[in-house]
Structure 1
Amino acid sequence: MSPTNLPASPIIIDEKANPYRDCIQGLANQPITVVKLLRDAVNENPVVARDRDFGVPEIRDVVGRLVENRPRIAIIGGAPDHPAHLLDRPQALMAAIRIWEMGGVPFLFHVPVICDGTAQNNIGQSYSLASRNHTAAAVNITFEGHSYHAAYVIAGCDKSPAAVVAGLAAADHARAYRGDQAPVWAVFAPSHVLKGGEIPEGTRRMLDDIAASADAAGHDDLGSDIRENMRYILQCTSDEAFAGLLERARLLGLIDGALERRVLDQLATATCDSKGGICAFNGTGNSSRTMLAAFGLTPPELELLTDVPPFSAVAVGVDALFNVFNKPEYAIGNLLKANFANFVRIHNATGSSSNMLLHLPFMMRYAGFDVSIDDYQDVRTETPVPEIFAHSLTENRDTFVLAQQMAEGKNRGMESIYRILADLGVAMDLDAPTVLGKSWAERIAGLENPVDLSLGDASVIRATPVRKRSGVDVITGSFFENCAVKTSGMSDHLLSHFDDHVFIVRYYENEHVCNGDFASPDLVTRLIETDGVDEELIAAVVRRNGGNRVDMQSPKDMLAQGHLSFAFVIGGQGPEAYGMPEMFSPSQNLRHHRILEASSMLITDGRYSGVTKGACIGHMVPEAFTGGGIGYLRDGDVLRLNLTTLKLDWLDPVAFENGEELATDPRGIKERVELFEGRLRRMEARQCDIAASNVLDAIGNAARGIVPRAVDRRAIKSWR
């Protein structure tokens, strides 16, 4: 079979500099890597090679192309110790064949990708966010060090897609300054979706028995929590919830440690499909998939895969690059700038991860644009969007199902989302360019039915909004500058109930003690016996929150009704203090605890997993380690949350006792300064848990993406 859609004549990149022509060492060193890559591609894809009559070139052929300045394209994959990258190699080798066939020169390199699930709730989480900055640097170093023109990226999970975007965008920014090299072009092929597992029948029976035992022992809240979690597709996230639930059961004496271990082991065995992929929940992995497509960096054929893509789909991605070479308007920096506001709107409309409020300014600042979460909030405020994603892990509407629906032609992925939002009157910039060499207007022209109506309630993407309020909000307050709350992760009931609501602080210096409280059989007793909490304070809080009955003999009832509310504050988790680990485990324990979910919220200067649900506030700036007000809070403080005005305030304790609500800052109080100084010493000591090479030092804060100071200083361009 003869190759199709080949350029009429070889494409030569238009630039002054060509290191492979002007530096004999590169020309001598690199051709053998290309020949080896193409030899592997032929040997491991014999059918593709045979059908296309593809032969391995000689070294002199590679040398000739390098001297001519043909497109040098890096294929970037991830490490195979991450489930998302198990199928990278066959796709990478197909891309190599097509790049050579189109007249370019392919290279292949991989970056390490930390699995947030594996790192969860242990020291690995303190390396997780740091890995994003290191990966951006590694991508940039390799891309610039070997003078590549473009990238075909097999994008994985968690932070790595944002990291690769940032590394490539930084190269694009630097090349614009130097002026003698072409810009950077890139196309992204997000890793396939991981099919969710199922709880084995025998394991399900054991869980049913444990739930029944909880009911019989008077702990029906635990019984209902277990049954609720059994409704979810089996993923690492639901496993984490089961871990917390089973620990509660063991501490209540309902099961022993051996049964707890057996159930957890059986769940772990049944969780992941052998093909791997990005977990099917709408966490940071799939939010990053959405991000790449929304920025116009992903062709539809590669957007939502469930397996290794066919050669034809890989060819679409490679061909897209060749169609935009020598067109600066399609360089990665320009696509980021042109589609920034579009992505903010789509991020909100799809209920995506709150982690993107860290990654969005991170990518934009690496690209040279002066962006913070203030810009995010400006766009969100100027153009409110409804939620159009009916994503569900309990009703067969996860991302794997979304991918199946797209494969069946029942939606067109990102193009459907752009069409629906435009039809709903959202001010989408449809003139913005995409890597396909077309604007969004051109891509969605003629798309009259963005979602197959026959899907009905089974459709993940909805042409009719799921609800009016969506996305992530930026909150300000009397004792901090800003923080983030995932509005889409809260039910309508919680959004209403916690609007203009007060909470009693229970303070923690690490998440492990908080988890211990959540699992404790005497949790309610611990809460009402919190330092600084007495009957008068409880009565004042209950009445303030609409309760008309204060019964100290039944504090559990006041919690279950949501009138007695606690703010579980976990400080000292910020980027400079401890690498900004995810507080996912306590968030899952809160979400899957009927009493706590109805009454309480989590607050941290750390971050949360993208799949977090419930009342969780994170990314607090300034963090405790740098003198932020969160480090001055203590047990028994009262906080007021207003989700209408997006304010979270510390209320003066004396005034509150007298029936007044005075929003102020605890940092000026002498005894609070002494409290903070002790905490700071403990934070500094705890920081030594992390290898010095991975401490996040000399960085911008969470509102500015937690980027290195040099990146922060050079981000001076306007994205508007």
Structure 2
Amino acid sequence: MKKDLRINSNVFSEGAMKAPNRAMLRAVGVSDEDFKKPMIGVASTWSEVTPCNIHLDDLAINAKKGARAAGGVPLVFNSITVSDGISMGTQGMRYSLPSRDVIADSIETVVGAENLDGLVAIGACDKNIPGCMIAIANAEVPAVFVYGGTIAPGSYKGKDIDIVSVFEGVGKHNNGDINDNELRGIECHACPGAGACGGMYTANTMASAMEAIGMSLPGSSSNPAESPEKAKDCVAAGEAVYHLLEKRIYPKDIMTKEAFENAITVVMALGGSTNAILHLLAIAHAVEVDLSIDDFNRMQEKVPHLADLKPSGKYVMQDLHRVGGVQAVMKLLYEAGYLHGDCLTVTGKTVAENLADAPSLTEGQDIIMPFDNPKRADGPLIVLKGNLSPTGAVAKVSGVKVKRHTGPARVFDTEKEATAAVMNNEINDGDVIIIRYVGPKGGPGMPEMLSISSIIVGKGMDEKVALLTDGRFSGGTHGLVVGHISPEAQDGGPIAFVKEGDLVTIDSEKKEISMDVSDEELKRRKQDWVAPPLYKKGILGKYAHNVSCSSKGAVTDFRK
């Protein structure tokens, strides 16, 4: 066994001063022979609080087997997870985005404190993936990310449904379109087992991005949670980390600017979540890659939207898996010149080498459209700027027929107040609903607005009213919505000074978001404004006092 595979070999070397280090490890089963091998951490976000992660304990054991078989000494440890679907529409949603940083910090802490030589990180729910990836970037040891996999679609009355169907069902119920029994039927059949939300929502979006960026094994991002392929992914990941140690390949060697461009390309082609912008900016920040919010518009202009996937399309991730998965989509994009083929990956090979023998999309499939008949000629994720959002807001325009909307502002300082207005039929066609003071600092935690956006869709108002916020939207959100408005209201951004009735315009073609208020009037409105006090208690207080603007990824460290 090669002793030099141990990055932190001095910790476990022979000598009297190292005896205490070794003694503690002997108690957990490490032998004399093992001290000559690299110590590989297996970070699992297993938990019983969400179906996304309920199966990850078994996957971690598979990764451990792979690392052990390759020649390493694997050690499993855990981090947290929270369920966005469960906390959505409640005060608990404020903890969702901060959990990304808790996950990142906890994994980095264990890797650093225990002097681990390599890392397999396994995540499933939305914040697990960027949390694991930020940890990988900061830990600076050879690493592989494994996605826990997508959930299978539910079925009700002969139709595929998912968690978003339940949220939209609430709106239909409020509108009188379905009764109590029908809503309960949707609720009881939406989530049939383990795995992350099934459409091209945030978890599947970020998993696809991590395969495209080269930090997950080829083909792994679209393998379903409850499948033989997913178990094999984990064994292979354990083996792959050992080979990365042999070749001295580090995350920074893989996650280059070009690799991030590959990730953005795949996200645009698949019609991914708006959260991808927030999370990719944060991961790039951690690995010290110069990625800005403007890079997303640059890539959006040249990458077509090809995938007919939910929330705006018909199919789910499991359907994509059946016709070749993300790997086949990457092969299609690479052969058409959209991907950088020379980027290194966790296989030790380049993207081009990985794709050389990869399967093509199944002939006759209708999930991924051809380049001459795309869902949209350019990407569906756009960054808008204007006097309402000088540093950038984010919209997903796939499936949205309205290109320009101008209407009177209906201003709310909480999601609860806005939701009540929608449910009480106080919102009129043409209105622009604004929910503010819910950004990274103001929320605190930048909560998602899937509950209210889905109710609007369920009531049939998704293209009749616009919904704007300095908070976020779920990957399951669709309709005329704009999030991540920055600077946020808490920081004195222009959204803090919108008044009821001000005319607000969203123009997706010009990528503009503005209000019909002069600069002079904005200055007058700002004169007497005082920022609300920042939240001070616990994790949310720490987050509010440290988090950056959403246009920079809402990061919490201080590296410039």
Alignment TM-score, normalising by the size of structure 1: 0.72
Deviations 1:559-595 (A, max 9, x none): 4xxxxx221111110111111101111211222332x
The answer to whether the Cα contact below 8 Å between 1:603 and 1:618 also exists between their aligned partners in 2 is yes
Q: Distance in 2 between matches of 1:694 and 1:396?
A: 41
Aligned in 2, Cα 1:270/1:187: closer, same or farther, shift over 3 Å? same
Q: Secondary structure at the match of 2:255?
A: helix
Out of 116, 134, 150, the residue aligned to residue 84 of structure 2 is: 116
Q: Does 1:333 align with 2:290?
A: no
Aligned in 2, Cα 1:393/1:196: closer, same or farther, shift over 3 Å? farther
| Residues paired across the two proteins, number | 551
Q: Distance in 2 between matches of 1:327 and 1:580?
A: 40
Deviations 1:484-520 (A, max 9, x none): 33334342x223xx2xx42211101111121112222
Aligned in 2, Cα 1:479/1:278: closer, same or farther, shift over 3 Å? closer
Residue identity in the other structure for 2:267: H
Cα displacement (A) at 1:626: 0.9
The answer to whether the Cα contact below 8 Å between 1:342 and 1:429 also exists between their aligned partners in 2 is yes
Q: Distance in 2 between matches of 1:702 and 1:312?
A: 37
Out of 32, 35, 55, the residue aligned to residue 87 of structure 1 is: 55
Aligned in 2, Cα 1:268/1:665: closer, same or farther, shift over 3 Å? farther
Out of 367, 376, 389, the residue aligned to residue 480 of structure 1 is: 389
Aligned in 2, Cα 1:691/1:387: closer, same or farther, shift over 3 Å? closer
Q: Which residue of 1 aligns with 2:523?
A: 668
- Whose helix proportion is higher, 1 or 2? 1
Out of 22, 30, 46, the residue aligned to residue 27 of structure 1 is: 22
Residue identity in the other structure for 1:332: P
Out of 245, 248, 264, the residue aligned to residue 172 of structure 2 is: 245
The answer to whether the Cα contact below 8 Å between 2:97 and 2:446 also exists between their aligned partners in 1 is yes
Q: Distance in 2 between matches of 1:640 and 1:169?
A: 39
The answer to whether the Cα contact below 8 Å between 1:507 and 1:570 also exists between their aligned partners in 2 is yes
Out of 511, 528, 546, the residue aligned to residue 646 of structure 1 is: 511
The answer to whether the Cα contact below 8 Å between 2:411 and 2:499 also exists between their aligned partners in 1 is yes
Aligned in 2, Cα 1:30/1:11: closer, same or farther, shift over 3 Å? same
Out of 186, 196, 201, the residue aligned to residue 143 of structure 2 is: 186
Q: Which residue of 2 aligns with 1:39?
A: none
The answer to whether the Cα contact below 8 Å between 1:469 and 1:488 also exists between their aligned partners in 2 is no
Task: Provide the alpha-carbon RMSD of the alignment.
Answer: 2.6
Q: Which residue of 1 aligns with 2:191?
A: 272
Aligned in 2, Cα 1:263/1:689: closer, same or farther, shift over 3 Å? farther
Q: Distance in 2 between matches of 1:16 and 1:597?
A: 55
Cα displacement (A) at 1:242: 1.1
Q: Secondary structure at the match of 1:286?
A: helix
Aligned in 2, Cα 1:396/1:625: closer, same or farther, shift over 3 Å? closer
Q: Secondary structure at the match of 1:321?
A: helix
Spell out the pairing of 1:187-586 with structure 2 (5 A cutoff). Answer: 187-199=144-156, 233-249=160-176, 260=180, 263-274=182-193, 276-300=194-218, 302-306=220-224, 307-309=226-228, 312-328=232-248, 330-337=249-256, 338-381=258-301, 384-392=302-310, 397-403=315-321, 405=322, 410-411=323-324, 413-426=325-338, 428-445=339-356, 450-455=360-365, 457=366, 459-460=367-368, 462=370, 465-491=374-400, 493-495=401-403, 498=404, 501-521=405-425, 523=426, 527=428, 559=429, 565-578=430-443, 579-586=445-452
Q: Which residue of 2 aligns with 1:97?
A: 65
Q: Distance in 2 between matches of 1:10 and 1:309?
A: 32
Q: Which residue of 2 aligns with 1:621?
A: 486
The answer to whether the Cα contact below 8 Å between 2:209 and 2:264 also exists between their aligned partners in 1 is no
Deviations 1:380-412 (A, max 9, x none): 45xx10112121469762112222x1xxxx42x
Residue identity in the other structure for 2:523: G
Q: Secondary structure at the match of 1:482?
A: strand
Cα displacement (A) at 1:429: 1.0
Q: Which residue of 1 aligns with 2:455?
A: 589
Cα displacement (A) at 1:312: 4.7
Q: Distance in 2 between matches of 1:320 and 1:127?
A: 33
Q: Which residue of 1 aligns with 2:468?
A: 603
Cα displacement (A) at 1:476: 1.0
Cα displacement (A) at 1:690: 7.4
Aligned in 2, Cα 1:198/1:647: closer, same or farther, shift over 3 Å? same
Residue identity in the other structure for 2:268: N
Cα displacement (A) at 1:119: 0.8
Cα displacement (A) at 1:132: 0.7
Stretches of 4+ aligned residues off by more than 6 angstroms: 688-691
The answer to whether the Cα contact below 8 Å between 1:76 and 1:152 also exists between their aligned partners in 2 is yes
The answer to whether the Cα contact below 8 Å between 1:10 and 1:103 also exists between their aligned partners in 2 is no
Structure 1: gaps (5+ residues): 1-8, 36-58, 173-183, 202-230, 528-558, 560-564, 653-662, 714-720
The answer to whether the Cα contact below 8 Å between 2:42 and 2:121 also exists between their aligned partners in 1 is yes
Aligned in 2, Cα 1:16/1:292: closer, same or farther, shift over 3 Å? closer
Q: Distance in 2 between matches of 1:600 and 1:429?
A: 40
Q: Distance in 1 between matches of 2:496 and 2:232?
A: 55
Q: Distance in 2 between matches of 1:504 and 1:148?
A: 56
The answer to whether the Cα contact below 8 Å between 1:469 and 1:487 also exists between their aligned partners in 2 is no
Cα displacement (A) at 1:602: 0.9
Q: Secondary structure at the match of 1:23?
A: helix
Q: Secondary structure at the match of 1:577?
A: coil
The answer to whether the Cα contact below 8 Å between 2:310 and 2:476 also exists between their aligned partners in 1 is no
Residue identity in the other structure for 2:259: N
Residue identity in the other structure for 1:288: M
Q: Distance in 2 between matches of 1:319 and 1:312?
A: 11
Deviations 1:204-263 (A, max 9, x none): xxxxxxxxxxxxxxxxxxxxxxxxxxx6x32221111112222343xxxx99xxx64x55
Aligned in 2, Cα 1:379/1:470: closer, same or farther, shift over 3 Å? closer
Cα displacement (A) at 1:360: 0.8
Q: Distance in 2 between matches of 1:386 and 1:271?
A: 31
Out of 690, 704, 711, the residue aligned to residue 552 of structure 2 is: 704
The answer to whether the Cα contact below 8 Å between 2:214 and 2:344 also exists between their aligned partners in 1 is yes
Alignment TM-score, normalising by the size of structure 2: 0.91
Residue identity in the other structure for 1:419: K
Q: Distance in 2 between matches of 1:28 and 1:240?
A: 53
Cα displacement (A) at 1:362: 0.8
Q: Distance in 2 between matches of 1:199 and 1:154?
A: 31
Structure 2: gaps (5+ residues): none
Q: Distance in 1 between matches of 2:537 and 2:183?
A: 28
Cα displacement (A) at 1:162: 0.5
Cα displacement (A) at 1:470: 2.1
Q: Distance in 2 between matches of 1:400 and 1:391?
A: 10
The answer to whether the Cα contact below 8 Å between 1:621 and 1:628 also exists between their aligned partners in 2 is yes
Q: Secondary structure at the match of 2:390?
A: strand
Cα displacement (A) at 1:145: 0.7
Q: Distance in 1 between matches of 2:462 and 2:380?
A: 20
Q: Which residue of 2 aligns with 1:179?
A: none
Q: Distance in 2 between matches of 1:17 and 1:375?
A: 40
Aligned in 2, Cα 1:341/1:395: closer, same or farther, shift over 3 Å? closer
Aligned in 2, Cα 1:393/1:134: closer, same or farther, shift over 3 Å? closer
The answer to whether the Cα contact below 8 Å between 1:75 and 1:107 also exists between their aligned partners in 2 is yes
Cα displacement (A) at 1:598: 3.0
Q: Distance in 1 between matches of 2:456 and 2:232?
A: 46
The answer to whether the Cα contact below 8 Å between 1:470 and 1:487 also exists between their aligned partners in 2 is no
Aligned in 2, Cα 1:308/1:30: closer, same or farther, shift over 3 Å? farther
Q: Secondary structure at the match of 2:515?
A: strand
